[in-house]
Amino acid sequence: MRPALPVSLVVSASLLGDTFLYTVLPVSAARLGIEPLLVGVILSVNRWVRLATNPLAARLYERLPAGWVVLAALVLAAISTGLYLEPAWVVVIIAARLLWGLCFSLLRLGAVVAAVDEAGGRAGRKLGETRAIWGIGYLAGALYAPFAIEALGWRGAVLGASALTLVLGLGPALIARPWRRGMEIRAVDAAPLSVWEPRLAALSICGATQLAVGAGILIVAGGIRISELYPDGAPVLGWTVAATFIAAIFVLTQRIAQVVWQPFAGRLADRALDRTYLVAIALSACALLALTLPIEAGLFIAAAAIANFALLATAIGAEIAVARRSGAAERARILAAFHTWQDGGAAAGALAGGALASIGTSFAIGLAAAALALTLPLWWFARGAARVPMTAAR
């Protein structure tokens, strides 16, 4: 069967609850009686736990029918969202976030492996399409959250998100249930590749740096910089916009890029991977440096959009390069290790963004641009001859 599309739809549905929490918890924390420090813990613990659950996910896909793993992860994701029901039960919410971390490890790895196995030489295009489908879930969750909170209150919105996750994801999960990836591939593949192989490790550092910048430093330090530059709002396209809305548009550029841009970025990477990576790094670094300047709000949003679009292209490029260095049977294990590096980078980047912003937001964002530039020598070192040709799984 061809599981990439249904598994991607399951991931998209499962992201509803996570995006809901990211959208409304920070602004609702005071009313719900949750301390700011706990907000940070709740929103980051799912990333930290993935450092342990990503390798576990790889083992499960190697030993169990892949379709059943996806179905179980969907059900657990719906349960984890439902556990947000009572905001006073902080321990329960943290446990739910840990459970969600496991679910996302399983679902993300399943979707990426399915896409790469199915795509053969067009892995970039397939990965871009896969991640664009995930982006629909991110976007839907961000739109659902404020309206649901206003109309249904916290508990109603949580139950609604949990139900929608299950309802929207169950059909695709049942379609993907016959998928038996491990049984199809394990008997025909080559000797294992170490996750610490130097070129692979260099690509993993590139991936960690990209996520540290795009999912960490840029979001945290960029949001703080908006409050510094435009404390009373600013004109955007002739309209005076409050700082909170500028910040919302700033984040929304990333969500739009995830839906609209990633399929095209993947196709570009298929055609010219090295050139795409070089141009994307250059664009993102220059855009970040622009954010360090005292520019108008419209230009700030435009520069942030360029950075987000370019960073997504670098992330897809690194994932393709990692996939090309692994054989089919070991691909789940190698990609899981790469995702662990990415998750570590994202979690560390969020913490670093706040710490560096305390020195200065321009300093934090400028340092992020320099870190991206430093991935270029690692990239060129890593881009030797691929270990195995990229072929579709049978």
Four-way CATH pick for 4-182: 1.20.1250.20, 2.60.200.20, 3.40.50.1950, 1.10.150.120 = 1.20.1250.20
The string of pLDDT tens digits covering residues 222-265 is 888 887 888 888 888 778 877 767 777 887 888 888 888 888 88
Q: How far is CA 206 from CA 149, 281, 373, in A?
A: 38, 11, 10
Neighbours of 194 (CB within 10 A): 11
On the 0-12 / 13-18 / 19+ scale of CB atoms within 10 A, 170 is middle
Concatenate the DSSP letters of all residues of 196-246 into one string.
Answer: T-HHHHHHHHHHHHHHHIIIIIHHHHHHHHHHHH-TT-EEETTEEE-HHHH
Q: Break the chain into its structural domains and give their ranges.
A: 4-182, 198-382
pLDDT for res 69: 94
Per-residue model confidence (pLDDT) at position 70:
95
User: What fold characterizes domain 198-382?
Assistant: Growth Hormone; Chain: A; (1.20.1250)
pLDDT at 391: 47
Specify the pLDDT at position 188: 42
The Cα–Cα gap between 24 and 43 comes to 11
Q: What is the mean pLDDT of each run of 10 residues along the chain (394 residues)?
A: 89 91 71 73 85 92 91 96 89 94 94 83 80 87 82 90 95 91 46 80 95 87 84 82 76 83 88 94 97 93 94 91 81 88 88 83 94 96 63 48
Whole-number Å distance between alpha carbons of 166 and 175:
14
pLDDT for 192: 65
pLDDT in tens, 64-97: 999 999 999 999 999 999 999 988 888 999 999 9
**Gyration radius (Cα) of the chain, Å:** 20
Question: Please, which residues bridge with residue 240 across strands?
Answer: 235
Please indicate whether the domains covering 4-182 and 198-382 agree at the CATH topology level: yes
C-alpha to C-alpha distance for 273 and 163, rounded to whole angstroms: 40
Q: What is the pLDDT of residue 181?
A: 65
> In the structure encoding, which two tokens stand for residue 176, read together?
């993907």
Q: Give, in degrees to the nearest 5, the angle at Cα 239 between 238 and 240.
A: 125
Global confidence as pTM:
0.77
Provide the residue type at 329 as one letter: A
pLDDT of the residue at 389 = 46
